[in-house]
Structure 1
């Protein structure tokens, strides 16, 4: 697979910054006490991270600031689309799972897609924290980072929200569904 150009043009940078600013201002409940001007300075000095946020955006993730890492001072961006990002659905969990499928293989896998985008798949804990900020995945589901002991046995875990409750389930890592994708996070 060819390596993507990880640079945005000045126009693309301006466009993604505008999208992120608008979303930030519309959803202050996700980042109370934070100022966009401080986030923007961080983004403008971490252009490679801005590229990753653009990848999150164009795949349907609607990234937004959901926290601040108190140890590093980094802003935490997470996919905040109402449903699992549309451009990241119908994927199995990882490359091993993809290779294990004999037929009807999906086009990609969540772990490699996240790495190619420069982001991390949410953990179950991060997913549950996101759900405190709104209702997400009420019709879809999202793969979450699977503990090694589960993955070694062939499984992977995913989460969704039904009946006002966050559920964590398991499936074979090689499975994929039109309504299952993955959510990512990125520290800037």
Structure 2
């Protein structure tokens, strides 16, 4: 992850975008107050850089809750479809190294780490779905349990027929309609 800080102008633009999204989607954060979130973001300028990366890759990050244990606000990628700027990635570095031909540019786990975010796990993915219908035409890699990954597999989810489906693929596979959704704690 790069340790960068946005310029004052970039920060103001991003905060305006995040505030507008927050106000448009109040169902995602009923009991939260934007001024509190903004104060937390301003106090953690390095997190603004990460949110900007989420935004730039098409994630449309928004607040979806508050971690009661730590007091951190949870930002998830809330784009209707999996983020366009993160598609065509295999699952992790091991899968990327295993590809002999037609290697993708990166892996989901690597890119998430570079961005400073966590790939959503199954529980988080299902939690996100209560706020809308996400991935109705695309799919998103999710954090895969070690037992499955050790056997060469990786998990992904989508939303079809009013249901969240969890599937498996070889970790080295990649598709133009599959990326990953991330979580940032601020």
* Residue equivalent to 1:80: 78
Q: Tell me, what secondary structure is at the counterpart of 2:123?
A: helix
- 1:44-123 pair list within 5 angstroms: 44-123=42-121
* Residue equivalent to 2:123: 125
| Distance (Å, rounded) in 1 between the aligned partners of 2:78 and 2:39 | 22
| Distance (Å, rounded) in 1 between the aligned partners of 2:104 and 2:91 | 10
| Structure 2 residue 28 is the aligned partner of structure 1 residue 30 | yes
Runs of 4+ aligned residues of structure 1 deviating over 3 Å after TM superposition are: none
| Structure 2 residue 28 is the aligned partner of structure 1 residue 12 | no
| Distance (Å, rounded) in 1 between the aligned partners of 2:16 and 2:141 | 29
| Distance (Å, rounded) in 1 between the aligned partners of 2:125 and 2:134 | 9
Q: Tell me, what secondary structure is at the counterpart of 1:135?
A: coil
* Unaligned 5+ runs, structure 1: none
| Distance (Å, rounded) in 2 between the aligned partners of 1:160 and 1:49 | 28
The TM-score with structure 2 as length reference comes to 0.98
* Unaligned 5+ runs, structure 2: none
Contact residue 3 and residue 46 of structure 2 kept, 8 A: no
What number of residue pairs does the alignment pair up?
186
- CA distances 1:39-68 after superposition (whole Å, capped 9, x unpaired): 000000011111110000000000000000
